[in-house]
Structure 1
Amino acid sequence: MTDSATVAAQTPAAQDRALPPDGPSSPAGHSGMPALSRFGIPLGLAGLGGAWSAARSSLGSPMWPEEILYGAASSLWLILTALYVFRGLRRKGTFRADLKHELAGPFASFIPLVGILLTAHYSQYLPPWGAWLCMAFIAALAIVAAQLLAHWVTGGVSMQSIHPGYLLPVVPGFFVASIGFSSIHSHDAATAAFGIGAFFWLVIGTVVTVRLMAGGESPPAAKTGLSAYLAAPATANIAWMVSHPGPVGAVQLGLTGVLVIMALMQVMLLPEYRKIPFTQMFWVFTFAVGATTNYAIRWLATTGLPGRDIYAWTILGLATAFTLVLAARTAPK
């Protein structure tokens, strides 16, 4: 049965849910996707900033690239958050409606997620305020994730609307929370956050994969969310490595294997990505690429691989070039 026939056979209520979420019939069509997708830009810049931070520790790179990236991410995040809050004050229930947006809802987690990345970086300059802010954003992420989960498990979404972006709040989100806890030296909390991410990686990852394998083709706007398959193992690897310093153990090797196969899958998906019209949602790729680069640099530093520094610089250069290309395409003409 084709997708159109499937929709036609549904009840009217189900048909409403099956419509493209950014269309006129979307419950948050007035906002949702356009507003929340913009937060992918500071998320990607902060992710690349983390890669340059790893390069400073492992390769002796200068500090200025990471500070420029984190500074740009901070400025954009503050501006976008202020605009989003201002719009919400004018329209009561905006954030709640955006959370229920079947396509864009998971991206509401970008707001606290970027906050965690920024405060984890700046906490080294602002003790103890940085640590408190980092914990506050982790708490905000937990609240947003809990709201999303409560909405999802009470029939708030249709199976047809589920896409890989549903992984972002509860899988990479909590792995980033683990990284944040490690940055403020809260090892037990970092382990707990890692456990949450691992649990939902199994649970939500299974649901999403079944949907993609058996539920028909996803809308083009949702296909950028396939980068979450890369972001999940990348952030998991970083989280485990920073919370378990020392020789690489069995868990780290297993997670690295998952990252490698997910990176290969992304390469195989390139023909599909080339078919998608360019939008701001492409910035979610930069976070996955930045996190993968971050871990690759850290992992290479633990090996005795000949030419490891050359490999690390090459990967970092490609990730930076990729982000610059997206920035050029996003800039107003």
Structure 2
Amino acid sequence: MLRLHTPELAEYRVESGASASERGAFPGRVPAAFFAIAVGLFGLGNDWRAAAGLWRLPSVIGEVAMVLGTLLSMTLTVLYAAKWVWARESAREEWSHPVQCCFVGLMPASWQLAGLALRPYGPAVANTLFWIGVAGYVAFMVDRIATLWSGGRNPLATTPVLYLPAVAGSFITSIVAAAFGYPTIATISFGAGFFSWLALESVLLHRLLVHEPLDGRLVPTLGIQLAPPTVGCVAYLGITTGPADPFALMLFGYGLLQALVLVRLTPRFVRQPFAPSFWAFSFGAASLALAAVRIAARSDGHTGITRLAIGLFVAANVVVGAILVRTILLVVRGRLLPPAPIAVSAVGFTPPS
């Protein structure tokens, strides 16, 4: 049986068989949660691609973000594979961790987004990346959901990262499938993500309402709350045509509500020392802006939604840009990775045999 400790987005320790040398090895210190950085860059790149088409903004900014996201996704994939070779116990610990395991699903999701990034330049390679990402994501999603259905989960380990296995990846699959011309797959994936979101939303709100407040280092994961309605809205717009219908606007409205709640919680966020965990805000913020830009593009020049889209586009750039700058400062100072795993308070979890 593994005894786990309160999870932290980018740093953790599990009391098990991993040796100190394994945990200290470079591959063992790179968490799967870092795929959130690549996903955030893809989100920003998609914003700029859409804005360049609607407002004639420079396209190069979006392409640079897409290239950076692709390079980071591939680099992290190599490092994750290396972890299973040279730091296997650390990899197993991460896979069995009630929070850290969910971020592994961002790896195949990032492959799909890399395919979307490369589509204008190499359609065959892009299509291959998409299908590999779909296969990897579906396998991961089924495994994680089966684990959740097996029970034994401590409520305190229930955080917004639970959206990642079934909701976020399904919506991303829907977005990319629609862009690649697979409307049926896009619609099926949207359904998988949407109904999973409805099921999980009440579970997460119940945990936030009646249990202890999130551990300080887990507070930034609240940024993931913004992702389901906003990424879902982008996905829904991808499987429909014409002006945004009432359901698209309802998804967008719920996304705006989540954004306003997160703004209200800003004092709580700024009290936390900056860490890579703040990338949890990036994809939701970028998707809110992307949804607004796409609604504006299909609204026949409605000035109100256009102004809102401009404001949200600027806000997304500020949010992701600020997180990126702070992350670069961590790299420069040699503090992106912890020198050693840190201990945190206990929650029990026994993965099914």
- Shared topology, TM-score over 0.5? yes
Gap regions ≥5 residues in structure 1: 1-12
Find out whether 1:305 has 2:302 as its counterpart.
yes
Which of the pair has the greater relative contact order for Cα pairs under 8 Å at 6+ separation?
2
Q: CA deviation at 1:252?
A: 1.2
| SS in structure 2 of the partner of residue 287 of structure 1 | helix
2:315 aligns with 318
Q: Quick one: structure 1 residues 316 and 327, their matched pair in 2 at CA, closer, same or farther if it must change by over 3 Å?
A: same
Find out whether 1:41 has 2:47 as its counterpart.
no
Aligned letter for 1:78? M
CA RMSD of aligned residues (A): 2.4
Q: Quick one: structure 1 residues 140 and 27, their matched pair in 2 at CA, closer, same or farther if it must change by over 3 Å?
A: farther
| SS in structure 2 of the partner of residue 125 of structure 1 | coil
For residues 160 and 44 of structure 1, the distance between their equivalents in structure 2, rounded to whole angstroms, comes to 26
Give the TM-score normalised by structure 1.
0.88
Aligned letter for 1:111? M
Give the fraction of aligned pairs with identical amino acids, expressed as a percent: 25
| SS in structure 2 of the partner of residue 251 of structure 1 | helix
Runs of 4+ with >6 A deviation = none
After superposition, give the CA deviation of every residue in 1:180-201 in whole Å (9 maximum; x if it has no partner).
1101111011000000001110
Give the TM-score normalised by structure 2.
0.83
| SS in structure 2 of the partner of residue 155 of structure 1 | coil
Q: Quick one: structure 1 residues 308 and 19, their matched pair in 2 at CA, closer, same or farther if it must change by over 3 Å?
A: closer
Match of 1:169 among 162, 165, 168: 165
Q: Counterparts in 2 of 1:103-182, with a 5 A limit?
A: 103-182=99-178
Is the 8 Å Cα contact of residues 103 and 222 (structure 1) preserved in structure 2? no
Higher deviation after alignment, 123-132 or 251-260: 123-132
Find out whether 1:190 has 2:186 as its counterpart.
yes
Find out whether 1:209 has 2:236 as its counterpart.
no
Q: CA deviation at 1:309?
A: 4.9
| SS in structure 2 of the partner of residue 39 of structure 1 | helix
Find out whether 1:61 has 2:57 as its counterpart.
yes
Q: Counterparts in 2 of 1:270-281, with a 5 A limit?
A: 270-281=266-277
Q: Quick one: structure 1 residues 86 and 257, their matched pair in 2 at CA, closer, same or farther if it must change by over 3 Å?
A: same
Q: Quick one: structure 1 residues 189 and 199, their matched pair in 2 at CA, closer, same or farther if it must change by over 3 Å?
A: same
| SS in structure 2 of the partner of residue 191 of structure 1 | helix
Q: Quick one: structure 1 residues 131 and 53, their matched pair in 2 at CA, closer, same or farther if it must change by over 3 Å?
A: same
Q: Quick one: structure 1 residues 206 and 26, their matched pair in 2 at CA, closer, same or farther if it must change by over 3 Å?
A: farther
Aligned letter for 1:161? A
Higher deviation after alignment, 31-40 or 173-182: 31-40
Q: Quick one: structure 1 residues 114 and 156, their matched pair in 2 at CA, closer, same or farther if it must change by over 3 Å?
A: farther
Q: CA deviation at 1:126?
A: 2.0
Is the 8 Å Cα contact of residues 36 and 280 (structure 2) preserved in structure 1? yes
Q: Quick one: structure 1 residues 35 and 57, their matched pair in 2 at CA, closer, same or farther if it must change by over 3 Å?
A: same
Is the 8 Å Cα contact of residues 135 and 181 (structure 1) preserved in structure 2? no
Task: Report the number of matched residues.
Answer: 320
Aligned letter for 1:312? A
2:87 aligns with 91
Is the 8 Å Cα contact of residues 33 and 104 (structure 1) preserved in structure 2? no
After superposition, give the CA deviation of every residue in 1:90-131 in whole Å (9 maximum; x if it has no partner).
133654432221221111111111111110232233223322
Match of 2:70 among 74, 88, 94: 74
